[in-house]
Amino acid sequence: MKKAGKNIRGLLFLAIMFLLIVPFVQNKFEFVKLDPLSGDIKIPERSYLKFKDWFSGNYQQHTEKYLNETFGFRNFFVRLNNQIAYDLFGKISAKQVVIGKNDMMYEESYIKAYYGSDFIGKDSIMHRMQKLKFIQDTMSKLNKSLIIIFAPGKASFYPEFIPDSCKTIKKITNYEYHIKLAQEFGSNYIDFNRYFIDHKHTSKYPLYPKCGIHWSYYGACLAADSIIHYIEVLRRINMPHLYWNKVEIADPKEGDNDIGDGMNLLFGINPGKLAYPKLKFQSDSGKTKPTVMVVSDSYYWVMYGFGINRAFGNNHFYFYGKKIYPESFKSTLEIKQVDFAEQIAQHEVIIIMATEPTLGDMGWGFIEKLYDLYKKKPLH
């Protein structure tokens, strides 16, 4: 019995030493390849010993934080912890994520926008739409075009899967009042929120992914095609069209599983299959490619990624009205760093797009900036 006890203690000691040593070896040599965690993961920089930092305690604090974020197999243990928390307690590690009925994934802000909990008030929207109407009329005199795009919202598209715990009394929403005034003012706009809802049950392929927050890749392809046609009609030109002859049915990619990936689980929720058109663009020959500036939230990234800009001439994407692409791919360029009037003068079409939860801040200061420019400066 004593010998057996010693053997057990020896095995336990070896097991403990193994568990202590292996993460160190993994951190040093990475002998097991692990997938990186998804989301806004910031790894702290390694701190190097300095005399003053040692006695102030800064070195110890920075080193502890660094080791906690970089020890071997950390990604595995984070996913394991998230899986246990989700399976046993229904706890979601990702911020503002809501799991609805049938495992439908939402961000909380979309649900609030659907019920009108984030309504900014009729006066605020009235002032904004009046400014946009003035901008549209002024641009028209300059042979330019302003287009407002209302991107769809997932909670409006799938209200039936919203969990009971999130349901509340539905009030007037930012989306509904923006649309009402856009119609009254004769604004140039595209309502993809209504289009998606109207085609929810007739679309050949899913317009929204189960485990994603943005429109599906297929939905974005349809929207991009509509935007190109809308510009053509508005400006009476013939642009290069996008088209596809083949559609791949596959597991989610191209950002269609962004919420699911962001939960960082060991075993993700089954997202189902989605459609991925093999996009092509018509030749530029004999076509007109207008210069286009797009001010948008993250809904434009899908289109920008598959190259809608190939239908445009000089084009820029102002992400949340601040960071400018494509320049920011190389080095960050923001709106405050450029000559705003010159940038506006270089583009024939300005598109301002927002989805339901971002409508409260639509334009992100860009609308006011453009309004002030046209109010103060004579037409040219």
Residues 352, 222, 172: CA angle, nearest 5 degrees: 50
Residues 348, 296, 234: CA angle, nearest 5 degrees: 35
C-alpha 213/C-alpha 354 separation (Å) is: 14
Mean pLDDT of 201-217: 95
C-alpha 185/C-alpha 81 separation (Å) is: 53
- Torsion, Cα 173 178 184 186, to 10 degrees, reads -160
pLDDT grade, residue 3 (50/70/90)? low
> What residue spans of the chain are helical by DSSP H?
2-29, 51-56, 58-70, 74-89, 108-115, 122-141, 154-157, 174-185, 192-198, 217-235, 258-262, 300-306, 340-345, 366-376
Q: Lowest-confidence range among 10-24, 82-96, 195-209?
A: 10-24
Arithmetic mean of pLDDT over the chain = 85
C-alpha 29/C-alpha 337 separation (Å) is: 43
**Could you tell me the pTM of the whole model?**
0.83
What is the residue-wise DSSP string for 25-91? HHHHH--S--PPPPSS--PPPPP---HHHHHHTHHHHHHHHHHHHHSTTHHHHHHHHHHHHHHHH--
- Torsion, Cα 200 201 202 207, to 10 degrees, reads 40
> Does residue 15 surpass a pLDDT of 70?
no
What is the residue-wise DSSP string for 316-355? EEEETTTEEETGGGTS--BGGGS-HHHHHHT-SEEEEEE-
Q: Give Cα separations from 201 to 37, 205, 206, 219, 351 (angstroms).
A: 35, 10, 9, 13, 29
C-alpha 189/C-alpha 230 separation (Å) is: 9
Q: Write down the pLDDT at residue 270.
A: 82
The SS3 of residue 299 is coil
What are 94-117's pLDDT values in tens digits?
678 898 999 899 999 999 999 999
C-alpha 9/C-alpha 99 separation (Å) is: 45
What are 248-281's pLDDT values in tens digits?
999 998 889 888 777 777 677 888 899 999 999 9
C-alpha 61/C-alpha 203 separation (Å) is: 55
